[in-house]
Structure formats: structure tokens, C-alpha cells
Amino acid sequence: MTPTRISNQQLAETFQTIANLLEIKGEVIYKILAYRKAADNLISLGREAYDIWAEGKLTEIPGVGKAIADKIEELFTTGQLGFLEKLQTEVPLTLIDLLQVPDLGPKKAALFWKQLGITDLPGLEAAARTGQLRSLSGMGEKSEARLLAGIEALKRRGDRFPLSKAWPFAQELLAFLRSLPGVTAAEAAGSLRRMRDTVGDLDLLVGASNSAPVMQALVNRSDIAHVVSQGETKASVEFDNHLRAQVWAHPPERFGTALQYATGSKEHNVRLRELALKRGLSLSDQAFIRPDGSELLCATEEEVYAALGLPWIPPELREDRGEIQAAKAGQLPDLIALTDIKAELHAHTTWSDGTLSVRQMAEEAIRRGFNILAITDHSSSLGVAGGLTPEGLGQQRQEIDAVQAELGQRLRLLQGCEVEIRADGTLDFSDQVLAGLDIVCASLHSSLRQPREQITARLVKAISNPHVDIIGHPSGRLIPRREGADLDMEAVFAAAVEHGVALEINAHPSRLDLNDIYARRAVELGIPLAINTDAHSASDFDMLHFGVATARRGWVGAEEVINTWESSRLLEWLGKRG
């Protein structure tokens, strides 16, 4: 039988489906977590698992033991998975759709299924609107209302995909397009190039004088589920992974105009067309048209903006949020770049729910050029993560000190903790314990649906603790599954200003929290930011560019981000706190 080449994204979705079905079924937690960890590691893997399988090295992938490796091999060799097929006979697959509703987890889905026979979203909405849910254990009128609000939020969100799914697949598609004969360039456009936290269709542009063979090669791909339309210069397709792509081909001499047009938001492009008209020009995706009907062609975006008297505007800023006015005034921000990051201040090891030891994480940080690595394993209240007790922190300190002695000047290790902010705003550890840490990152993980006043006061209380240095992923959102807490962000910002606490932009594409809007507001108020990967494995460091992109969307420069600072400055800042 011919092997089936299945992408990492498809493998990850399969194992996430298994984990969700097992949790709905009521399976033991360690099995569920094993599948979730494998899915997370596959999605951020730097290579295709298929190629690793061909080398006989599947079990070298973090989180992939023999049992999961056998299932991956079965998928590659047969295209099917008997374990999942059997599981689907026990638990309706349509229950997975319920998990798209914000704050509706597998346990609630199981409750609705087993108590009321609800197996799909229409059934859930009907039950909620007729008051059937409020009588169930753990539910009530308020819970039912929140669920309906979540269903409405899901409808508003529509068919958009998180960056974690769209970005890696787009890179693979672009590599494919660039490899085709006659292609001079291939770039992402649209909301993906602007690095919004979710994207709809993938908009991809190709530079090619002869476009028909490019379109034919695209629609001939084996992973296409449906060709929506195909012409000589444009094709619209849907892939097996449910992502949709629109691919345009333009002659190289028109590529700059086309790329600018396809990248900017509608509002940004309207502003540019207004500028063009003031100069007696008409701007389209093809060219500038002069009053005499002749064309001004632009092979690059820089030429487009120059024709309008503007410097090139970075794609992340093209949302009509003042970037054109800033460009005209010569006041575009000097945006942070990936190479500016010198430290990782939020990372996990096997002391909680990470996959690597302190030494292994340190070696990875060195390999990636970091000067400082903070080990911030979870505190004990987050039970699912196997968090640390004060006694455990003492044992961990001994290991960190031993590794530091071996590393010498190659890397500075900090012992920190991602301390749980409890429901009443107190922290997991006493001030005495916190004072013994080099860095403290306090985070919300539970009770995120508290009323606005209550959860805001809870976060403000944590910010007010003199030992807290960073607030991790402030809203607690999970894209696309869970909306963030209903925080009064101005009150949060005021507390951060008062106490000099940094706010994190968590680079994991399921978080990107702070978002770009709040990151820009934080910078306006002088609040320091930290961009961290929240790494639980070596491959998680690859997610850093998502956090940097979110910062760039928020007009953030390197100076505003504490982990771009020189080591001496960062350590001095930490030393003055707490």
C-alpha cells in the first residue's frame, strides 16, 4: 500500500479530536493529556512528521511515545486510524462542534449529551433557548445565558482560523509555489500578512509571466478537496484541512501594486486611493493610471508608496489606525524585530507541564541566541499542570544552580514561577516565598467568567503585590475556543502604571494576549511589555515571531519590551522590584 503523506496540522487535529472524545467519554486524564501534548508538539514541529517517520525516528518527537507513534504510522500507512473509528462509535463526533463555543469544555458537552441527548450545536442552542439546561447539575439561569452568548459569539466569528493553523500551511504553500517553473515571487497577502490573530481565506500572490501553468499545478495538488474556481490568473481552492486559498498570478512588473492592494485592509487601501486621486492618479491592483491613460507600473511595494509620497508602511500597520498620517509626517514607529529579543522570561520544564529538563531548555535557549532564560513552572493550584509547592521550588533551585554552574557565562538562568492568581486575587505563594524568586509571572487560568468588577479587582490585586514582575497572558483567552475575561483594561493599565509591572504579549498563537490594540495602549501609557513564548518544549520557541508580529501590529518598538534590553539592564530592573 502506498503511504499517505499527512501533514503535521492534520495529525494534530486528529489527536486533538481523540483527546476531546476521550474527555467527553470520561477517560482518565493522563491519556487525554498525552494526546493533547502530542498534538501541540506536532503543530509546532520544525519538520514534517512524515519525513521523521521515514527515518524511523517518530519517538524522538517530544510527547510521542510508542503508542502514539504506532497510531501515526497507521495513519501514514493506511490513511485511517482504527482507534479513532472505534471511538466514534462510542461518542458522537458532532459533539466536537460544541467545544467551539467559548467556555464550553468536554465535561459540559458530556453532561448535555448524557443527560439531554444533545449531540450538535443546533440541539444545544434549542435546549438553551427553551430553558432546558438550567436544571442540570452545575448549570443555572446565568450559566445558560453565558452559553447562549457564547453561541452568538461563535456565529459572529464565522469561518476564521487561528494563526497556528493558517501560518504554517501558508508557508508550505508558498514554498510549493516558489518552486514552480517561471515563478519569480510568491507572497502571502491579506489578513495573514498583516498577522491578524485569525484569518479567513489564505490570499497568496504569485509573480509569473505565464500564469496558466501555475494555476494548473495548484489545482493538481493531492490535498485539495474542492476546486471552487479556476482561471488563467486566479484559482480558488479548499484543502483537506478545511483551509481555503485564493491564489492570483501577476506579471512581475505589476507584482508590487498587486501585493500592496491584496495586503492592506479595505480602509487602508481607500486612504491610498484618495492620495492617488489628489496626485491625479488612479490606483488599482494592476497599476497607477495617469490622466492621459498611460500606466505607471510598480514591481515592488516600495515603488507604490513612493509614488504617493510615502515611505513603505509595514504590513502589520495597514489597518487605517493612523499609519498613513504618521507616514506623511515621517513619524512611523521603529517597530520591534524578532532579532531584538534577547531573553525568554516565561518557560516551563518537567518540574510542571513542560517536556524538557532545566538543562535541555537552557541548551535550547543558548542555541537560539538568548542571553537570559527564566524557568517559570506553574505553582501548585493549577493541578492539571502538576505545579510546584514551596518545597518543590527549593529542590528546583538546587537544579537550576547546578546547571548555571555548568553553563558559566553562556546563559543566565533565573528561577521564577508562573504563579496562579486565585479566585479571590491572592497568589499561590506567600510573600516570603515569592521574595526568594528571581522573577514572578502571575497569571489567570481559572474562574475567568467572574463578573467584570470582580475579575478586574482580582487582577489589580495581583498587580499590586510588590513581588509580581509580569502579568502573563492577561485576559486568559484561547483562540478560537475561549474569549478573554471581561476585564476593565483601563483599571488594569492604571494599576500596572502605578506598580511598574510589565504586561505580557504571550506569543502562543492560541493566546496572542495582550492583543495588538491593548499593546498599543500600554505603550502609550509607558507600561513595559514582555514578549514570551510560554515554551513547554523546544519547538515552542519557534512561536516567538507570532508575539513579535502582535507587538508590531500594536506599534511597539524594541525599547518598550523588557526582554530586548541588555542583560545588565534587565537584571537591574528585576533587582529593584520586590
Residue-wise DSSP of 340-361: G--EEEEE--TTTT-SS-HHHH
Q: Are residues 370 and 516 in the same domain?
A: yes
Residue 333 lies in a domain: no
**The domain that contains 122 carries what CATH number?**
1.10.150.110
In one letter, which amino acid is 458?
Answer: R
**The domain that contains 293 carries what CATH number?**
3.30.210.10
Identify the H or E element spanning 10: helix 8-25
- Which residue, 224, 250, 276, sits at the end of a domain? 250
Q: Are residues 507 and 359 in the same domain?
A: yes
411-420 burial by CB neighbour count: b if 16+ within 10 A, else e? bbbbbbbbbb
Q: Are residues 287 and 357 in the same domain?
A: no
Q: Higher confidence at residue 7 or residue 457?
A: 457
Q: Would you give the distance in Å from CA 524 to the centre of its chain?
A: 24
- Torsion angle of alpha carbons 492, 493, 494, 498, nearest 10°? 100
Q: Would you give the distance in Å from CA 541 to the centre of its chain?
A: 12
For residue 138, what pLDDT is reported?
83
For residue 29, what pLDDT is reported?
80
Angstrom distances, CA of residue 515 to CA of 287, 480, 484, 536, 555: 35, 14, 10, 21, 12
For residue 538, what pLDDT is reported?
92
The rounded percent of the chain whose pLDDT value lies above 70 is: 98
- Which residue, 199, 229, 250, sits at the end of a domain? 250
**What is the rounded end-to-end Cα distance, in angstroms, of the chain?**
63
Residue 305 lies in a domain: yes
Alpha-carbon distance 265 to 273, whole Å? 12
Q: Are residues 135 and 219 in the same domain?
A: no
Residue 52 lies in a domain: yes
* Res. 578: pLDDT tops 80: no
Angstrom distances, CA of residue 28 to CA of 21, 22, 33, 347, 372: 12, 8, 9, 27, 38
Q: Are residues 192 and 214 in the same domain?
A: yes
Angle, CA of 228, 234 and 240, to the nearest 5°: 40
Residue 3 lies in a domain: no
* Res. 438: pLDDT tops 80: yes
Closest to 540 (Cα-Cα) out of 16, 8, 43, 38: 43
Q: Are residues 87 and 24 in the same domain?
A: yes
Q: Tell me the mean pLDDT in the region 437-463.
A: 95
**The domain that contains 219 carries what CATH number?**
3.30.460.10
Q: Are residues 404 and 488 in the same domain?
A: yes
- How many domains are contained in the chain? 4
Using one digit for the tens of pLDDT, what is the confidence trace for 482-538?
A: 788 989 999 999 999 999 999 999 999 999 999 999 999 999 999 999 999 999 999
Residue 255 lies in a domain: no
Predicted confidence band of residue 81 (pLDDT cuts 50, 70, 90): very high
Cell reading at 269 = 487601501
**The domain that contains 481 carries what CATH number?**
3.20.20.140
For residue 385, what pLDDT is reported?
63
66-80, 142-156, 188-202, 443-457: least confident range: 142-156
For residue 33, what pLDDT is reported?
83
For residue 455, what pLDDT is reported?
96
Highest mean pLDDT among 229-243, 461-475, 479-493: 461-475
Q: What's the longest Cα–Cα distance across the chain?
A: 80
For residue 465, what pLDDT is reported?
97
Residue 257 lies in a domain: no
Highest mean pLDDT among 9-13, 198-202, 477-481, 499-503: 499-503
Residue 314 lies in a domain: yes
Q: Are residues 381 and 477 in the same domain?
A: yes
404 CB-near residues (< 8 Å, 6+ apart): 412, 413
Predicted confidence band of residue 1 (pLDDT cuts 50, 70, 90): low
Q: Are residues 274 and 383 in the same domain?
A: no
In one letter, which amino acid is 341?
Answer: I
Which phi and psi angles does 54 have, rounded to 5°?
-60, -25
The rounded percent of the chain whose pLDDT value lies above 90 is: 73
Please give the residue range of the domain that contains residue 172: 161-250
Q: Tell me the mean pLDDT in the region 315-330.
A: 96
- Which residue, 250, 271, 288, sits at the end of a domain? 250
Q: Do 186 and 178 touch, CB atoms closer than 8 A?
A: yes
Q: Tell me the mean pLDDT in the region 186-203.
A: 95
For residue 45, what pLDDT is reported?
66
Q: Are residues 182 and 153 in the same domain?
A: no
Residue 109 lies in a domain: yes
Q: Are residues 242 and 343 in the same domain?
A: no
β-sheet bridge partners, residue 375? 347, 415
Predicted confidence band of residue 296 (pLDDT cuts 50, 70, 90): very high
Q: Are residues 346 and 473 in the same domain?
A: yes
What's the predicted TM-score (pTM) here? 0.78
Closest to 41 (Cα-Cα) out of 353, 285, 398, 276: 353
Using one digit for the tens of pLDDT, what is the confidence trace for 122-174?
A: 999 999 899 999 888 888 888 888 888 878 767 765 578 889 889 999 999 99
